[in-house]
């Protein structure tokens, strides 16, 4: 499948199944929300999760993005770059998490509370960069 066509399909979606690789080579899958920007997909992650440990060891990943029709879907292959972990409510990572939230959900009712939660939850951002695609889409 043409990558540009797959990216157009994925641009207006938000949900995907992220596949990473465990140390022993088996796959680990997690449902995620993303914000698309061209061939990049930003994901909010929690530092202590398996997917983050897997991506630190091996940045290769895949995103499976379904449509409302079970027989139409796209899988993107690529790599994920991880940010630092949020350490302070006013650090650059938390500023980026605020931008991620705004692009996903709009305005938060209490930004101070949100900023502190990002630190308390040890949040970080992953940027998935697509390099190839496969799937089934209507002509």
The string of pLDDT tens digits covering residues 1-30 is: 999 999 999 999 999 999 999 999 999 999
Question: Which domains does the chain show, CATH number per domain?
Answer: 3-85+123-136 (2.30.110.10)
| Contact partners, residue 11, CB within 8 Å, separation at least 6 | 36
Q: What is the pLDDT of residue 120?
A: 98
How far does CA 54 lie from the centroid of its chain?
Answer: 14
Q: What three-state secondary structure class fits 70?
A: coil
- The phi, psi pair for 45, rounded to 5°, reads -130, 160
How far does CA 37 lie from the centroid of its chain?
Answer: 11
Mean pLDDT across the chain, nearest whole number? 97
């Amino acid at each position: 499948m043409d990558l540009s066509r797959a990216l157009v399909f994925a641009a207006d979606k938000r949900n995907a199944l992220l596949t990473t690789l465990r140390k022993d080579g088996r796959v680990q899958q997690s449902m995620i929300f993303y914000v698309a920007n061209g061939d990049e997909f930003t994901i909010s992650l929690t530092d202590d999760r398996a997917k983050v440990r897997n991506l630190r060891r091996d940045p290769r990943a895949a995103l499976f993005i379904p449509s409302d029709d079970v027989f139409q879907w796209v899988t993107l292959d690529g790599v994920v770059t991880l940010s630092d972990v949020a350490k302070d409510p006013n650090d650059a990572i938390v500023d980026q998490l605020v931008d991620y939230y705004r692009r996903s959900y709009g305005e938060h009712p209490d930004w101070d509370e949100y900023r502190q939660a990002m630190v308390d939850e040890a949040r970080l951002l992953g940027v998935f960069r697509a390099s190839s695609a496969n799937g089934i889409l209507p002509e």
